[in-house]
Amino acid sequence: MWRLKKVCHKSSRPDNTEQLRLKRREQERALRQARRDKQLFSKRLLLSEDEEHSTEQHVTKIPIYSSLILIIYVSTQCTSGKCGPEKEASLKALSRALRDPSAQTKFIKLENSIHVLVGLLTGSNTECRLLAVRCLHELSHSPHSAVSLACLPASPYLLTYLSGQSTKFTELCLYTLGNLCPDNDAVKDKVLSQGIIPALTNCLETQMHNLALVEAIGFTLSQLLQEIQSKNLHTFLYYSQIISVYSSVKLFINLSTHFHCLLLAALPLIVCWVFFYLSHSIPGDCSVLLSHGALSKCSSLLVSIGGTVAEEKKDEGLELAVWPLLRCVGNLLSSCPVEHLSEQVDTRLLAALCALLNVYLKTQPALAREAAWVLNNLTAHSTDFCSALLTQNLVPDLIQLLPFSLGINTMILRVLANVAHQKKHFCDQLVRLGLLSALCATLKMADTEMVVLSLDVLNMLIDGNLQVAEEFVKQGGLLMIEALQYNHEGELRQRALYLLEHKLSPCVCLCCSFSCVSSLG
Amino acid sequence: MLQPHLAHLMTEENVLLKSSVDNCPTSSETEGKDENPFNFQPQVIHLPKDHELFEDGDVQRHMYLQNLYISAADEEPALRVSEFACHISGCTATFKTLQEYEHHYNSLHRHVCCTCRRSLPTARLLDIHIQEWHDSLFAVLAQKQDMYQCLVEGCGLKFRTIKDRKDHLIIIHKYPPDFRFDKIRRANRRALPSDTEMEVVTDVCESEGMCEVVCGTTSNQRDPDPSDMNVSEENTGHMETSASTAPDPTELTKPRYSYRVPPNVCFGQGSVRGFRGQRGKRK
């Protein structure tokens, strides 16, 4: 990712790592809390080129007093009609000054300030246009929602410029619009009725070759779509527009998978998030998206990524693209009827998911957990996928993952339970692959859900098959079941008792002789 | 002494099966005894966008948006391995590895006397304990012949009284006078707190009265019922008819079910008089 590389470059300075790490942790905590409060929005700030290359981390803050002077100067210059290098210099200084939140609030309170900027934005001096949009961009990054409201008069112009040809300018417009969207319903309403969605779609189609722009479009779209569903803003009105977005996004993805290795690495991950938000923005179930082939598109993307990852060609930051794809596939699967599953989804997806699980297990366990969730959804009702799991020899790897917590092992055990539930002879295969000894370990785990699932799986494996029961007893599992009879959880007691009475009772006598021998030994 | 141990196991099993068949009102597990409690169904799980499972991914995305994202290689791995927990009711020990769990289980829960819930380290000591403490026939025979066997394996000597054996252990086998596995049974169970054998393990697990392992100290202090249970057990062991006295009036106020077996019912010689533990006592 071109952008990600820049970030990494900055953060690799040795003297700053500890501070950076602390700052990261704090930010992470703040983000988690914001998510819980359903207030998780982010704004992006595009640094200008000279700032990006500067060695200084922080920008010198111009005191507010002098910024006010600048503002007044600029406005006087404007009205006098003189356009020259001084004006450009002052605009530049203004944009720097506007980085300070208090300067932002002061600025919007000045009479005509926005009007001046909009005037510059639409003026004949293109350099001033660029600087004016930069000022607006700084304003849009403000944490105060009043500031975003104040910027609204510029929105129709920003939208118009989206179909322009100047890429840097368009990029700034996009990010500005993206920053403005989440703050306020009024803002969102306005930009929606001004036709932001068709404008973005059009931009995407024309600028598909420019990755930076595609990423910016993805950002803006996802900011828009992230909130559409939860606030239920005229969703039906924009239904068809949303579908057209999807088609354009699909076009882009087609293009990128065509140039597989190169572009996959640079796949603007934000586009993938668009997918995810799309799947939530359409009310009701996702059958519309399904009919447009969303599931097959996302799953084939995952297959390609899985393939890349399995060959150890993992790129940094690729997981940011994997997350939304996993979520899309996971939720789309819940709307997809089982009969059509094999048409839409390649069975290679199973191998891809297992590869993702293994690769990201240690570095991003949450991602591994989501991959396990998708596996569960795939295998829940489909015999084909369950048998494919066995024939592709993916089960031993899954069994290896059973010791890991954070919800990974419960999901994986669910997957194995889905397989066992499908057919009797799948159970035999699972036993042959060593599931019984793994169950002897999982029965001892602290997590109640894990133990309940283990008992369920055990019940299915033993069902009617005395040999399996004997094998289980031989591995010393009976003692665990007996101990579980006295557990304080009712679910565990009931299951343990049932197993002892009905499934394991012929083996009880065997057990006596075994434990006698073992206790003497 | 294989036979009594085997017999003990057998009766244990019989008692297990029997008690599950009895319609004991307290045990909720017998309510659905014929119904299959297993209700696993494969299900497709749909997660809304705000689900907590998605929290980490969202946070990573926003870290990227705010230019705080760094490659995961710089961060310490966050993966956790599932913990193991002892499932014996009342024991709340947890472990990081399977080996620790197995060690705990084998040391504390394998050789447990089901009558008084003492945990003993070996099967032999368990046999001796059961014989000497809970076997009524033994008590009778001990009056006429040497029955108390030496605790050292291979020694084979038997003694008429406990004191003789203890002296033998101290003098001949150089055992300490306060050897933990040779406690004299006290008539009054309230003196249990002085039992160091129990103290050894109280730091490992807590009891709620049902702990198979000895947490007699804490359980006695908190819940007088188990000790009363045991008192009555002992009394039946001694074949005193006063064992059938009514339970302490204070306990009548609590809903409780008596697991005492009336003295005129006998499950066979050397058998355990009573049901294994207090299953119904749990909430």
Residue of chain B minimizing CA distance to A386: B42
Question: Looking at the complex, does the CB of residue A475 fall below 8 Å from at least one CB of chain B?
Answer: no
Question: Looking at the complex, does the CB of residue A232 fall below 8 Å from at least one CB of chain B?
Answer: no
Chain A residues touching residue B98 (CB < 8 angstroms): 441, 444
Cα four-point dihedral sign B91, B95, B97, B99: negative
Residue of chain B minimizing CA distance to A315: B71
Cα–Cα distance for residue pair A405/A396, rounded to 1 Å:
18
Please name the residues in contact with A238: beta carbons below 8 A apart, sequence gap of 6 or more. A192, A197, A228
Question: Looking at the complex, does the CB of residue A191 fall below 8 Å from at least one CB of chain B?
Answer: no
A interface mutation test: which of B12, B82, B86, B102 has the most A CBs within 10 A? B82
More confident residue, B168 or A509: B168
SS3 content of chain B, % helix, strand, coil (to 5): 45, 5, 50
Asked if pLDDT for residue A306 goes beyond 60, the answer is: yes
Q: Among the listed ranges A140-149, A260-269, A433-442, A487-496, which one has the minimum average pLDDT value? A: A260-269
Q: What is the pLDDT of residue A69?
A: 60
Please name the residues in contact with B124: beta carbons below 8 A apart, sequence gap of 6 or more. B1, B153
More confident residue, A38 or A362: A362
Question: Looking at the complex, does the CB of residue A256 fall below 8 Å from at least one CB of chain B?
Answer: no
Judge residue B121's burial from the number of C-beta atoms within 10 Å of its C-beta, 0-12 exposed, 13-18 middle, 19 or more buried: middle
Chain B residues touching residue A441 (CB < 8 angstroms): 98
Judge residue B255's burial from the number of C-beta atoms within 10 Å of its C-beta, 0-12 exposed, 13-18 middle, 19 or more buried: exposed
Smallest CA–CA distance, residue B212 to chain A, in Å, is 10
More confident residue, B50 or A476: A476
Q: Among the listed ranges A97-111, A173-187, A231-245, B51-65, which one has the minimum average pLDDT value? A: A231-245
Q: Among the listed ranges A208-217, A468-477, B13-22, B72-81, which one has the minimum average pLDDT value? A: B13-22
Give counts: helices (H), strands (E), chain B: 10, 4
The pLDDT tens digits for A420-434 are: 998 888 888 888 888
Q: With an 8 Å Cβ cutoff, are A27 and B43 in contact?
A: no
Smallest CA–CA distance, residue A445 to chain B, in Å, is 4
Asked if pLDDT for residue A289 goes beyond 70, the answer is: no
Chain B residues touching residue A445 (CB < 8 angstroms): 82-85
Q: With an 8 Å Cβ cutoff, are A316 and B71 in contact?
A: yes
Domain A425-514 indexed as CATH 3.30.70.1290: no
Cα–Cα distance for residue pair A133/A121, rounded to 1 Å:
6
Chain B residues touching residue A422 (CB < 8 angstroms): 42
Asked if pLDDT for residue A57 goes beyond 60, the answer is: no
The pLDDT tens digits for A73-85 are: 666 555 555 556 7
Given a cut of 70, the residues of chain B with pLDDT beneath it are 1-34, 68-78, 186-283
Chain A residues touching residue B84 (CB < 8 angstroms): 444-446
Chain A residues touching residue B85 (CB < 8 angstroms): 444-446
Q: With an 8 Å Cβ cutoff, are B53 and A373 in contact?
A: yes
> What confidence tier does A412 reach under pLDDT thresholds 50, 70, 90?
very high
DSSP-derived pairing of the beta strands B148-149 and B158-159: antiparallel
The superfamily (CATH) of domain A248-422 is: Leucine-rich Repeat Variant (1.25.10.10)
Q: What is the pLDDT of residue B209?
A: 30
Q: What is the pLDDT of residue A238?
A: 58
Highest mean pLDDT among A311-315, A510-514, B31-35: A311-315
CATH 1.25.10.10 residue window(s) in chain A: 248-422, 425-514
> What secondary structure does DSSP assign to A247-298, as a single string?
HHHHHHHHHHHHTHHHHHHT--HHHHHHHHHHHHHSSS-THHHHHTTHHHHH
> What confidence tier does A68 reach under pLDDT thresholds 50, 70, 90?
low
Closest to A162 measured CA to CA, from A171, A149, A150, A153: A171
Helix (H, G, I), strand (E, B) or coil at B158: strand
Cα–Cα distance for residue pair A226/A215, rounded to 1 Å:
16
Residues within 8 A of B (CB atoms), A 260-289 only: 269, 273, 276-277, 280
Cα–Cα distance for residue pair A290/A269, rounded to 1 Å:
21
Q: For B84, which of A319, A445, A455 is closest by C-beta distance?
A: A445
Q: What is the pLDDT of residue A202?
A: 83
Q: For A404, which of B48, B50, B81 is closest by C-beta distance?
A: B81
Chain A residues touching residue B66 (CB < 8 angstroms): 27, 42, 44
Smallest CA–CA distance, residue A125 to chain B, in Å, is 32
Chain A residues touching residue B41 (CB < 8 angstroms): 421
Helix (H, G, I), strand (E, B) or coil at A404: strand
Q: For B72, which of A363, A451, A455 is closest by C-beta distance?
A: A363
Q: For A380, which of B36, B44, B55 is closest by C-beta distance?
A: B44
Q: What is the pLDDT of residue B191?
A: 36
Residues within 8 A of B (CB atoms), A 13-72 only: 17, 20-21, 23-24, 27-28, 31-32, 35, 38, 40, 42-44
Q: With an 8 Å Cβ cutoff, are A484 and B87 in contact?
A: yes
Q: With an 8 Å Cβ cutoff, are A320 and B81 in contact?
A: no
Q: What number is the average pLDDT over the span A355-380?
A: 90
Question: Looking at the complex, does the CB of residue A400 fall below 8 Å from at least one CB of chain B?
Answer: no
Q: What is the pLDDT of residue B173?
A: 85
What radius of gyration, in Å, describes the C-alpha atoms of chain A? 29
Smallest CA–CA distance, residue B118 to chain A, in Å, is 16
Q: What is the pLDDT of residue A186?
A: 78
Averaged pLDDT of chain A = 76
What is the percent of chain A with per-residue pLDDT over 70, rounded to a whole number?
Answer: 73
Q: Which two tokens stand for residue B60?
A: 């990573």
Asked if pLDDT for residue A372 goes beyond 90, the answer is: yes
Cα four-point dihedral sign A200, A201, A204, A207: negative
A interface mutation test: which of B12, B22, B44 has the most A CBs within 10 A? B44
Chain A residues touching residue B6 (CB < 8 angstroms): 512, 516
Chain B residues touching residue A440 (CB < 8 angstroms): none
Q: With an 8 Å Cβ cutoff, are A483 and B87 in contact?
A: yes
Cα–Cα distance for residue pair B7/B131, rounded to 1 Å:
12
B interface mutation test: which of A18, A26, A32, A42 has the most B CBs within 10 A? A42
Q: What is the pLDDT of residue A370?
A: 92
Residue of chain B minimizing CA distance to A11: B70
Smallest CA–CA distance, residue A13 to chain B, in Å, is 12
> What confidence tier does A374 reach under pLDDT thresholds 50, 70, 90?
very high
Asked if pLDDT for residue A48 goes beyond 70, the answer is: no
Smallest CA–CA distance, residue B77 to chain A, in Å, is 6
Q: For A330, which of B47, B55, B82 is closest by C-beta distance?
A: B47
What ipTM does the predicted assembly reach? 0.75
φ, ψ of residue A489 in degrees (nearest 5):
-90, 125
Highest mean pLDDT among A86-90, A118-122, B233-237: A118-122
Q: With an 8 Å Cβ cutoff, are A406 and B72 in contact?
A: no
Helix (H, G, I), strand (E, B) or coil at B209: coil
Smallest CA–CA distance, residue B240 to chain A, in Å, is 31
Helix (H, G, I), strand (E, B) or coil at A77: helix
Cα–Cα distance for residue pair B229/B207, rounded to 1 Å:
15
Residues within 8 A of B (CB atoms), A 309-348 only: 316-317, 319-320, 323-324, 327, 330-331, 333-334
Chain B residues touching residue A473 (CB < 8 angstroms): none
Residues within 8 A of B (CB atoms), A 479-518 only: 479-480, 482-488, 490-495, 497-498, 500-501, 505, 508, 512, 515-516
Chain A residues touching residue B78 (CB < 8 angstroms): 365
What is the percent of chain A with per-residue pLDDT over 90, rounded to a whole number?
Answer: 8
Asked if pLDDT for residue A187 goes beyond 60, the answer is: yes
